[in-house]
Amino acid sequence: MSTKEEVLEEVKTTTQKENEIVLYNDDYNTFDHVIETLIYACEHTPVQAEQCAILVHYKGKCTVKTGSFDDLKPRCSKLLEEGLSAEII
């Protein structure tokens, strides 16, 4: 029985959903501004930020950061302060 209990606990921890910052496309911000802001607010590498900017442009939105709400809230606020459209889901 102890084996079953261990497996059940492992499943519980792996199915917890993390919060996400979703960045949305707009017609106002340049690629450079979006990339610089992602590097600053989300600690992306330049390549990672560029890939997210391209995805946002072509797909309309992209998850740019996952984690706890407490970690994501100030990051999302930075994105919004820079004029980007983002939300935590």
Query: Would residue 17 count as lying in a domain?
Result: no
Query: Would residue 59 count as lying in a domain?
Result: yes
Summarised one tens digit per residue, pLDDT across range 48-77 is 999 999 999 999 999 999 999 999 999 999
CA dihedral sign of residues 67, 83, 45, 47: positive
Mean pLDDT of 35-40: 98
pLDDT at residue 4, as a whole number: 58
More confident position, 4 or 31 = 31
Query: Would residue 21 count as lying in a domain?
Result: no
Q: Percent of the chain scored above 90 by pLDDT?
A: 81
- Provide the domain count of the chain: 1
Query: Would residue 49 count as lying in a domain?
Result: yes
Distance CA 30, CA 55 (A): 14
The number of residues in the chain equals 89
Query: Would residue 16 count as lying in a domain?
Result: no
pTM confidence score: 0.81
The parent domain of residue 47 ranges over 29-88
Query: Would residue 35 count as lying in a domain?
Result: yes
Summarised one tens digit per residue, pLDDT across range 8-17 is 555 555 556 7
